[in-house]
């Protein structure tokens, strides 16, 4: 992480919400355009154009040398995929991870999209990854512990026969893209840091069809599954409240699956 944990002051919430909505709108635009024949580099171009239109900046561009405005991770790519000439084909799944800096704050969100019609195994994996994210969010409230989040995610993934990537996790967010604390997507209930109202974190589990083992390619960024199995991920930026949390990166349309409603907050329980 790059900096100590910060609490979001009430006066800063409008700006923080705008950043979250800008990222969500950009992600929704990607989802509306995903189709067979699209190149991952096209997604990078869309993000640059849309973020400029919003008056923001792609937070990822240049971050520790990252060469693109968005991470694009198809199939066996777990995260940090560099967009380029790879062409998406029918049956692929692809994660787009968008972070937007606007008005001094960062909004961070991702979704895994279907390219054309998915097979049953892909649909089940993606649906489970979304459920894992939502289960993690559902336990968030002041007084809950980070281990509650990880345990909720891990339980759903393992029950479905999938593994959870342990080498990466969520993070604090606000005036910087990455802040403390680290948010593990596995853990034990009742352990870890207690959440406080005003904390902002990302919850972004990466769920693999096969084993949890990963490796980094020679480009020093792209992370893939060791066994070549597919990986899916969903992410929201959430603000901890006394009774639950506020999701700051709600998409205006469905992320990748048939239409479903998403509430603006979760009534969390400490677990």
pLDDT for res 3: 55
Q: What domain range includes position 124?
A: 10-266
Decide if 137 contacts 183 (C-beta within 8 A).
no
Residue 3 in domain? no
Query: Which two three-digit tokens encode residue 96?
Result: 């787009």
Residue 77 has, within 13 A of its CA and on its CB side, a CA count of 23
pLDDT number for residue 263: 32
Q: What is the pLDDT of residues 36-61, one digit of tens each?
A: 999 999 999 999 999 999 999 999 99
Residues with pLDDT less than 70, the chain? 1-4, 252-271
The residue assigned the tokens 């709108």 is: 25
| pLDDT of 133 | 98
Whether residue 57 lies inside any domain: the answer is yes
The answer to the question of residue 211 being in a domain is yes
Helices 120-138, 146-159: inter-axial angle, 10-degree rounding = 160
How high is the pLDDT of residue 232?
Answer: 98
Helix (H) or strand (E) holding 134: helix 120-138
5 part of a folded domain: no
- Tell me how far apart the alpha carbons of residues 48 and 194 are, in angstroms, rounded to a whole number: 37
Give domain status of residue 29, yes or no. yes
Specify the residue for token string 């969500």.
24
Q: Determine, yes or no, domain membership for 1.
A: no
Query: What is the number of domains present in the chain?
Result: 1
**Within 10 A of 159 (CB to CB), how many other CB atoms are there?**
9
pTM of the shown model? 0.92
Question: Which residue spans within 86-241 are E strands per DSSP?
Answer: 93-102, 105-114, 163-164, 170-172, 179-183, 200-203, 206-208, 214-216, 223-225, 231-233, 236-240
Tell me, what's the pLDDT at 269? 31
Write the CATH number for 228.
Answer: 3.90.230.10
* Gap between the Cα atoms of 77 and 96, Å rounded: 11
């Amino acid at each position: 992480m790059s900096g100590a944990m910060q609490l979001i002051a009430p006066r800063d919430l409008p700006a923080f919400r705008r950043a979250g909505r800008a990222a969500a709108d950009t992600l929704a635009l990607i989802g509306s355009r995903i189709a067979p024949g699209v190149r991952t580099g096209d997604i990078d171009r869309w993000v640059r154009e849309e973020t400029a239109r919003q008056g923001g900046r792609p937070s990822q561009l240049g971050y520790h040398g990252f060469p693109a405005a968005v991470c694009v991770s198809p199939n066996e790519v777990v995260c940090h995929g560099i967009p380029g000439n790879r062409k998406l084909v029918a049956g692929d799944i692809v994660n787009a991870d968008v972070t937007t800096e606007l008005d001094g704050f960062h909004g961070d969100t991702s979704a895994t999209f279907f390219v054309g019609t998915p097979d049953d195994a892909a649909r089940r994996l993606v649906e489970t990854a979304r459920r894992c994210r939502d289960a993690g969010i559902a336990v968030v409230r002041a007084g809950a512990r980070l281990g509650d989040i990880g345990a909720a995610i891990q339980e759903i993934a393992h029950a479905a026969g999938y593994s959870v990537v342990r080498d990466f996790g969520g993070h604090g967010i606000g005036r910087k893209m990455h802040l403390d604390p680290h948010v593990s997507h596995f853990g034990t209930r009742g352990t870890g840091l207690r959440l406080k109202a005003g904390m902002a974190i990302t919850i972004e589990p990466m769920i693999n069809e096969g084993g949890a083992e990963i490796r980094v390619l020679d480009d020093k960024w792209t992370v893939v599954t060791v066994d070549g199995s597919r990986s899916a991920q969903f992410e929201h930026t959430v603000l901890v409240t006394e009774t639950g949390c506020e999701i700051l990166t709600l998409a205006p349309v469905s992320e990748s699956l048939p239409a479903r409603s998403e509430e603006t907050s979760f009534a969390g329980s400490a677990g």
